[in-house]
Amino acid sequence: MNKTLKELLEAEEKRQRQGLELIPSENYVSRDVLDALGSIYTNKYSEGYPGKRYYGGQENTDKVEQLAIDRAKQLFGADHANVQPHSGAPANIAVYQAWLEPGDCVMAMQLDQGGHLTHGHPVTSSAKLYKFVRYGIKDIETGEIDYDAMREVAKKEKPKILLAGFSGYPRALDYEKFASIGNEVGAVLMADMAHIAGLIAGKALPNPFDFGFHIITTTTHKTLRGPRGGMILTRGTVGNPLKAPDKTVENLPTLIDREVFPGFQGGPHMNNVLAKAVAFGEAQQPEFQTYAKQVLKNAKRLADELMNRGFKLVTNGTDNHLIQIDMMKSFEVTGREAQDILDEIGLTANCNSIPNDPLPPFRPSGLRLGTPAITSRGLNEDDMALVAEWMNAAIVGRNKPDQLKKLKAIVSEFASKYPLPSDK
């Protein structure tokens, strides 16, 4: 590694050690996960699946991938797992392409109310291939989804996939109501649990499979604390060895596998698959359930502490790891301005559009933050008052450089007391 890259690596390590990560989609991995990512498996091509590869020399890669598959199935109660997707977006796209024909309908959460780009944003390729219709929030103050309106739209549009999932929604989804509506119109039930997979694996939030969902897609980082990657799970499906299986729910595993490879991706990144296997093993340990529950405790406490200091929260709280703040209503600053101010003191969050946001996406009203990463560092409920106070002091004192400099020193000293998980 040359000097410049080494210095950049050291600078990023310093930034992570001396600051607090509040972006809800980010986390820290263990030393074992890091070691797997930097392992010799990065050298190996493994196109195909265990026992069905196109290249030789697969006696070890087959065992690694099968172990990752088995652990994923155990964690989430799945019948089938594909651990090869390179991220969450390819996982979602693979499901669409496996089950849909061009022009078919998908029903997903309204994008400005918490949905994700891959749930049909007009700028995505999927939106050019398929018809996306929306459901949304009935009451902005509580975050309650309008399930009655969802049912009426579903009965009219007859979506082939009803998708439950989000990237910016702080409340719980009623999977039972989703299942009732999906079953009524004959839709495949798909849950994108990229944000909350670790909370489900840790038994802190309900599992969509327990309500009759057919497919779960997820990233393997975020709350799951694994490497950057994706995964597709199915339950109640058996697969079919036919070369061209019919598009039936029973054949979903085969359809999905063939869409991931060779339909959509080339060979898996085996160092990443190894790291997934490591992370899934860590998530099977009893202490991971303690972690998942603590993420929720910290999020609820942080939400309360922020509201006590005048922050206006979207839906006035949270049921998961994620908090959305209306910064314009709170302090008459944009989410982008708030993000930059917090960066100055070592607190990392991200600006985000909020429901009915009057501002554009690159300069939205909202600020999104969460507790997965700081919980991994060891912070608990009592520390959330400090985080909220630092945020408040930074926003209120945003035009006072000396105050921001003092806050940065305080945050750095505090963060340095909590090692990264990779140090343990």
Q: Which residues are catalytic?
A: 45, 47, 192, 219, 222, 228
Q: Spell out a b/e string for 231-257, using b for 16 or more CB atoms within 10 Å of the CB, else e.
A: bbbbbbbebbeeeebeeeeebbbbbbb
Contact 355, 168 (CB under 8 A): no
**317 sits in which H/E element:** none
Q: CA of 350: how far to CAs of 94, 176, 199, 216, in Å?
A: 28, 32, 21, 26
For 99, residues 6+ apart whose C-beta sits below 8 A from its C-beta are: 160, 161, 188, 247, 252, 255
For helices 401-415 and 3-18, angle between their N-to-C axes, nearest 10 degrees? 90
- Residue 412 carries which DSSP code? H
| CA dihedral (362, 367, 372, 373) positive or negative | positive
Contact 82, 260 (CB under 8 A): yes
